[in-house]
Amino acid sequence: MQQVTWEKAVEAQHDALIKRWGKGTDPVLREKLQAIYQRDQDARRLMMTLPPAEWTDALRKQQRDTDATLTLQLKEIVNTYGWPTFRLVGSEGASQALLILNHSADHTWQRGMLPQLERLARNQQIPESDFAMLLDKILVASGKPQRYGMNFKFADGKMQMYAVEDPEHLTERRERAMLPPLMVYKHMLAEAYHLKVTDEVAQPESMKP
């Protein structure tokens, strides 16, 4: 799938979701998620303007503290409403909820949510592309090869993709999940982090819960 084809497919999918679900049935919850998402993005904006080598300990701590706070807020939402789906909060809200979970350092909670989220993604109740990113993060954090090639490692001033399972069919899996072609994604990462993205493959390393 070329970049233009992928972009058109994503646009068509987005339009279909809007037509089916609109903005969801719970505007209050949608606005709450929007506020949490905005805090998530604000906290990352400064880091994204700097190369990783210039991320100070204070900046990293601020990011961790913010992620911990937002994780607690997302847990409260899930405990009260269940997981935010297209039906509840529309396409944008469902994507924002998964991004916040993806940025959480609570890997135990992430793994615990995985079966439910996998069912929701399979039933087209949450974005499969955002679920794919979360799944890859959990797999890498567990010391396993990722499935979609969404996680990269910072090493020696460059970025390397963590190993993937069944690499021969990676392109097909990315297409099914509406993810950008791998070369396009690598270019996006290089622009975002101001680093060279190599073709080297990094081995996943287990992380603490």
Over 70: is that where the pLDDT of 191 sits?
yes
Please name which of 158, 149, 105 lies closest in space to residue 129, comparing C-alpha atoms.
149
Q: Which residues pair with 146 in a beta bridge?
A: 164
Tell me the pLDDT tens digit for each residue of 61-71.
Answer: 999 999 999 99
Identify whether 30 is part of a domain. Answer: yes
What is the residue range of 17's domain? Answer: 3-202
Please name which of 55, 25, 7, 35 lies closest in space to residue 185, comparing C-alpha atoms.
7
Would residue 194 be called left, alpha or beta, if left means φ above 0 and alpha means ψ between -120 and 50 degrees?
left
Identify whether 208 is part of a domain. Answer: no
Counted domains in the chain: 1
Identify whether 10 is part of a domain. Answer: yes
Identify whether 156 is part of a domain. Answer: yes
Please name which of 138, 119, 133, 123 lies closest in space to residue 180, comparing C-alpha atoms.
133
Query: Does residue 21 or residue 113 have the better pLDDT?
Result: 113
| Secondary-structure breakdown of the chain: helix, strand, coil percentages, each rounded to the nearest 5 | 65, 10, 25
Q: Which amino acid type is present at position 16?
A: A
Tell me the pLDDT tens digit for each residue of 6-25.
Answer: 888 888 887 888 888 888 99
Over 60: is that where the pLDDT of 177 sits?
yes
Identify whether 186 is part of a domain. Answer: yes
Residue 31's pLDDT is: 97
Q: What percent of the chain has a predicted confidence (pLDDT) above 90?
A: 74
Identify whether 72 is part of a domain. Answer: yes
Tell me the pLDDT tens digit for each residue of 71-111.
Answer: 999 999 999 999 999 999 999 999 999 999 999 999 999 99
- Cα–Cα distance measured from residue 16 to residue 26, given in angstroms and rounded to the nearest whole number: 19
Identify whether 193 is part of a domain. Answer: yes
Identify whether 207 is part of a domain. Answer: no
